[in-house]
A and B are shown apart, each in its own frame.
Chain A
Amino acid sequence: MSTSSTLNPRRATSEEVAKTIKRGGANWKPIAFQALLLILLSVSLLILIVLLADILVSAWPTFRDRGLSFITDGLSLNPETAGVWTAIVGSVIIAVVVAVLAFPVGIGAAIYLEEYAPNNSITRFVDTTVRNLAGVPSIVYGLLGLALFVPLVNIIGFGGATSGKNVVAAGITMAALVLPIVIITSAEAIRAVPNAIREAGYGVGATKWEVVKNHVMPVALPGVLTGTVLTLARAFGETAPLLVIGVATGFFAPAGDASFYDTLTGPYTALPVVVFSWTRQTQAEFAETLAPAAIVVLLVVLFILNGLAIWMRNRSDRKW
């Protein structure tokens, strides 16, 4: 420090030392730096508050005038009676297909990568592939669905009136989209299981599969479930791939006699898609009050799923 040269060591009192270090007054630079960081953080949080407030205020008239009927009414061209029920049904079916397809495959892949795979270049390649897939833009999965899953759904007999552009193809596409995330989060949960548990299993003569099934998975399960719930939240919020694989963005009446098969193979919509299509409607009510109300419903579903995940994570936060 250059300031030390100005100090005469023989006459230095503690007061003088303090004064020299402070350079005769408060040093405003670190304070300004801290204030700047605090402002940047506050702006980030302020954006969130303004966003939520703006949407809640816009959505309020719909909930005030319509109450729960906004939830239980289906699509309509009349803003007075249009509701989100059709969209909720579509989103839930997509989520079920995702759960049926992506969860077993994803968890199985995680078990393979963590427990069975040898530590060689092929395993590392699979690992890199999973990471890269997680970074692929969602709309590219839409193109994959359009080129592969829509024809596939037709071939297996679920084409129906929409010739494959239905909720089954949407579910398969979403399952492919979230698969890498399921694998990564499940693998992390399995990796966190201490080796002592595996060794205890082998010690009493269990085979690999018995160790995985009876010892590793029960311990890893809360972590795995947390990951899968977050994945469902992601699937609920995705819009872009659905647009590419032919989700209905306008009004439609339920197909046929609305049997379960008709619901699966007919035109469909989903919660985020409804937000998008109402924003584009020519009647102003759709964009001004109905779209924000649909956003509120979507956000409530996501908050419930996220809350569930946090609750499970806290319950399972075991220290080894």
Chain B
Amino acid sequence: MTTQPITAQELAGDPKRRRKETRVKAVFMVAGFTSIAISIAIIVSLAGEAWNFISQVELSALWTLGWFPRRGLYDIPTLVIATTIISIIAMIVAIPLGLGAAAYLAEYATPRARKWLKPTIEVLAGIPSVVLGFWALTFISPEIVQRIFTSSKPFTMLAAGLGVGVLITPLVATVSEDAMRAVPLSLREASYGLGANKATTVRKVVFPAAISGIVASLILALSRAIGETMIVFMAAGAVGGAIRTWNPLEPGQTMTAAIASLATGSDQVAGEGLAFQSLFFVGLLLFLLTLALNSISNRVVRKYRETY
């Protein structure tokens, strides 16, 4: 019995089988690059109409008394100020609640308690924003805001900001909790070994060690607050337009709410005037702002992550 030398062709296998491999790979590659296509589509569709807006609008209309797109007043600062106010209120709610809940869950809760508490917090994270919008309007506004500030209106930026705060609290809590739990036990033990108590260990050892994850969670939450639409649209009022104001007890329109409001107006988004184009200009601003925040958040995690 003589053994035939194996040829290179035999090692390469059935050509039909190889061709199939190439085809399958090509299909997956197309799927893989869909996300690039969607990104390009977003940028092109936003930038195109945004350019039409900025090249046709009178520049004086961009700095007026307020945002009334149907009357040709496109005061961008109105939207930016409202977005800022609501995001600040939301962060004032979410930072203590989220970080406090995270620290308790990560450091103090017994494993059994944690097993129940963490999914409960995650349930809060899964509540759709339209539900929180409804609740901000029908509960937070009359039962909290109007009881404290008796003369305030039913629609206020304060009520919307509190609602957004409730929305982003679980995000801060879960991401920060993960960061604190990732701090190795040996660091805590070293701290106890030096005579520190639990509170000191949490504040002076665990917190600084987890700071990159905590900061990332806060930036992520801020980005979510800026991009949140329904709560602001339902609870901050100002349908049709808003006057520029820094007062959180006034109605207001954020960038997102301005888009939603214009799109659901009685006459829908018509091609009349520059209202339609202004939607995309505001959308582009919003897109760039949240993109920047998310990139910073990613970079913070990558750059300042302590590796143990």
Q: Which A residues are within 8 Å of any B CB, using their own CB?
A: 1, 21, 27, 29-30, 33-34, 36-41, 43-45, 47-48, 50-51, 54-55, 58, 104-109, 111-113, 115-117, 125-126, 128-133, 135-144, 146-148, 176, 179-180, 183, 207-209, 233, 236-240, 243-244, 246, 249, 272-273, 275-276, 279, 287, 291-292, 295, 298-299, 302, 306, 310
Contact = CB atoms under 8 A, between A and B. Distances in A.
A306 B83 CA distance: 31
13 contacts: A27-B197, A30-B198, A33-B199, A54-B138, A135-B294, A137-B229, A140-B286, A144-B45, A237-B127, A237-B129, A243-B260, A295-B134, A298-B131
A138 B227 contact: yes
B291 to A, nearest CB: 6
Given A36-B100, A136-B42, A136-B291, A275 B286 contact: no
Contacts, number: 257
A139 B229 contact: yes
B207 to A, nearest CB: 12
Contacts of A108: 27-28, 30-32
B51 to A, nearest CB: 13
B12 to A, nearest CB: 11
Contact of B264 (A54, A132, A237, A249): A249
B28 A143 contact: no
A21 B29 CA distance: 65
Contacts of A105: 31, 34
Given A104-B31, A139-B283, 7 more contacts: A21-B195, A43-B97, A108-B27, A108-B28, A135-B223, A147-B46, A273-B130
A243 B230 CA distance: 10
Given A37-B104, A51-B127, A132-B291, A143 B134 contact: no
Contacts of A44: 97-98, 100-101, 121, 124, 169-170, 173
Nearest to A278: B134
B137 interface: yes
Nearest to B203: A33
Interface stretch (B17-25, B72-80, B244-252): B17-25
Contacts of B24: 209
A202 B73 CA distance: 66
Contacts of B107: 37
B259 A244 contact: yes
A179 B220 CA distance: 19
A212 to B, nearest CB: 8
A40 B283 contact: no
Nearest to B258: A139
Given A132-B291, A139-B260, A291-B134, A146 B269 contact: yes
Nearest to A45: B120
Contacts of B18: 207
B238 interface: no
Contacts of A112: 28-29, 31-32
B139 interface: yes
Nearest to B298: A131
Contacts of B29: 112, 116
Contact of A33 (B30, B202, B233): B202
Given A131-B298, A176-B38, A140 B46 contact: yes
B226 interface: yes
Given A179-B38, A292-B134, A279 B234 contact: yes
B286 A137 contact: yes
Interface in B201-231: 202-203, 220, 223, 226-230
B75 to A, nearest CB: 20
Contact of B259 (A21, A143, A144): A143
Nearest to A244: B263
B268 to A, nearest CB: 7
A117 B46 CA distance: 30
B290 A135 contact: yes
Contacts of A275: 130-131, 134
A239 B295 contact: no
Contacts of A39: 100
Nearest to A247: B264
Contact of B166 (A47, A135, A208): A47
A169 to B, nearest CB: 13
> Can you list the 7 inter-chain pairs with the closest CB atoms, starting with the nearest?
A40-B100, A137-B227, A237-B128, A108-B31, A112-B32, A30-B199, A147-B45
A239 B32 contact: no
A203 to B, nearest CB: 15
Nearest to A180: B35
B103 interface: yes
Nearest to B49: A147
B263 A142 contact: yes
A159 B35 CA distance: 26
Interface in B136-173: 137-139, 166, 169-170, 173
A141 B123 CA distance: 25
Given A37-B100, A240-B260, A140 B294 contact: no
Residue of B105, B129, B263 with highest tally of chain A CB at under 10 A = B263
B273 interface: no
B134 A179 contact: no
Interface in B29-74: 29-36, 38-39, 41-42, 45-46, 48-49
Given A275-B130, A276-B130, A132 B294 contact: yes
